[in-house]
Structure 1
């Protein structure tokens, strides 16, 4: 006999006070109740119940077994209820990985709105400018900038990750405003040493992509750091529109060479394939995709 079922029957016998009442509660016959109790006593090699014609009582072993069985059966009931609830309402924990700038400026505001809409969901957002291993690190979603290799993941395309050149009005007033990419050689250019190359900045001109040689006087391994250097009037920065958006909108930075755009990079939301995704996964995917598209599309007009 199934041990957990027998434990459930035993707990019912004690809680209901008799084999007959337990049989009614478990929807089985009193004879079957007796077989479950006998099976447990045979397994444990001890008596659990002392029965007479008028009453039944627990042995010392039966009392100990009842206390533990009641907890185990209760825990199992709670687990079953929790698992079943996953099929009816979005609940549980979601772990998400995203790059720093995208996570801080774009994703965090959307995530807070998502959690307000789904109060039974908890979310952990890990910001890191690296490629995470979703399975080994236990992530449900990751946002990735750049080309996607075939990793057996579901990839939902997002608007491209766009970059731009910018500087403060005071810097441009002092050093002049570049009118062609070649003019950058006469300017202070702020390097970002997480890029593949800081010796060249790639721009798109009338004849296609151009590699413009630059010699950065200052290199910073943080997009926020290079932006702050630009805000100090130290030079021209090449950074994502996500990082520079607020400063461009409030006029602290202005676009440089706007007619020579920087090549964009693809961006995707990735998650593990599932035959029947949990409701929390479907809820997050639908919500984020719905909100991200207009947010990133508006950003592309910057």
Structure 2
């Protein structure tokens, strides 16, 4: 008995509901499918199915075996597909979830360069600052920023994400430059408020560790708004350098309290770990590796 063929026959019978439909799906005779299932039961020493003239019923052992056997067969198929993908071009639709501000500022050149190299891949990019459920919502990859907690997902670190305290030269000329975190109490503070993002927690813990939290004169759940407000002299903001970096290079913003910067976070590519990677996913993750540079180009302003 070929154990894999017998396992495949049993799973097909359960999924299809009858030996006849399972045989059609496997392109085998119903007699051979029945023989495979009987041999499997004899090998395992348990009854997997109770057969009647009208319906098949899974035993308790059959139900457990079906669950595990389905997973084993899926893993085998994924492995074979992966090996096949090594010899084929990346193709198909790649669904990506990414944070709004990061994607708006930095994803378009990346996606263009990737598709120039892999023209058979179509991309569906969805922007959302919440943490999407990759499996439930059908995404291949999610880009996330922060300090990731342990989970059942695989995360590939793509680039560091630096947080900088910054304000416009005009604001600092009018209100003075803070020399210590405690000085922030005397300044207008622009706070990021999106509660589900790791950036918010990083900001909160940094402020707690460096003196009393200043009152927020402007609160927004969008970092771009806070950066633009800072450029226009509204106050001081703690924002990722991928948002504030261009304004810092152009002299529109200045970094304050650089010696008190929070520990850097990171940009990660996150994907489901139970499935072996399709060529389109593996190609995109490999393409991301090193794309932004080390340090990333948005940090080249010091």
Partner of 1:262: 262
Change (3 A) 1:286 1:185: same
SS of the residue aligned with 1:287? Answer: helix
Partner of 2:206: 202
5+ residue gaps, structure 1, are 6-83
In the alignment, structure 1 residue 296 sits paired with structure 2 residue 283: no
User: How far apart in 2 are the matches of 1:225 and 1:3?
Assistant: 56
SS of the residue aligned with 1:271? Answer: strand
User: How far apart in 1 are the matches of 2:202 and 2:147?
Assistant: 20
Partner of 1:145: 145
CA contact (8 A) 2:85 2:278 kept: no
User: How far apart in 2 are the matches of 1:98 and 1:176?
Assistant: 37
The 5 Å alignment of 1:216-231 reads: 216-231=216-231
Give 1:163 shift: 0.9
CA contact (8 A) 1:86 1:278 kept: no
The 5 Å alignment of 1:143-222 reads: 143-195=143-195, 196=200, 202=206, 209-222=209-222
Change (3 A) 1:243 1:160: same
SS of the residue aligned with 1:96? Answer: strand
User: How far apart in 1 are the matches of 2:26 and 2:158?
Assistant: 49
CA contact (8 A) 1:142 1:270 kept: yes
Give 1:198 shift: 11
Partner of 2:37: none
Using structure 1 for the length normalisation, give the TM-score.
Answer: 0.64
User: How far apart in 1 are the matches of 2:210 and 2:90?
Assistant: 49
SS of the residue aligned with 2:206? Answer: strand
Change (3 A) 1:162 1:211: farther
User: How far apart in 1 are the matches of 2:279 and 2:202?
Assistant: 44
The 5 Å alignment of 1:57-76 reads: none
Using structure 2 for the length normalisation, give the TM-score.
Answer: 0.64
Change (3 A) 1:162 1:212: farther
Give 1:145 shift: 2.2
SS of the residue aligned with 1:217? Answer: strand
Partner of 2:253: 253
Give 1:293 shift: 4.6
User: How far apart in 2 are the matches of 1:3 and 1:177?
Assistant: 73
5+ residue gaps, structure 2, are 1-22, 28-83
CA contact (8 A) 1:248 1:254 kept: yes
CA contact (8 A) 2:203 2:238 kept: no
Partner of 1:136: 136
User: How far apart in 1 are the matches of 2:240 and 2:25?
Assistant: 60
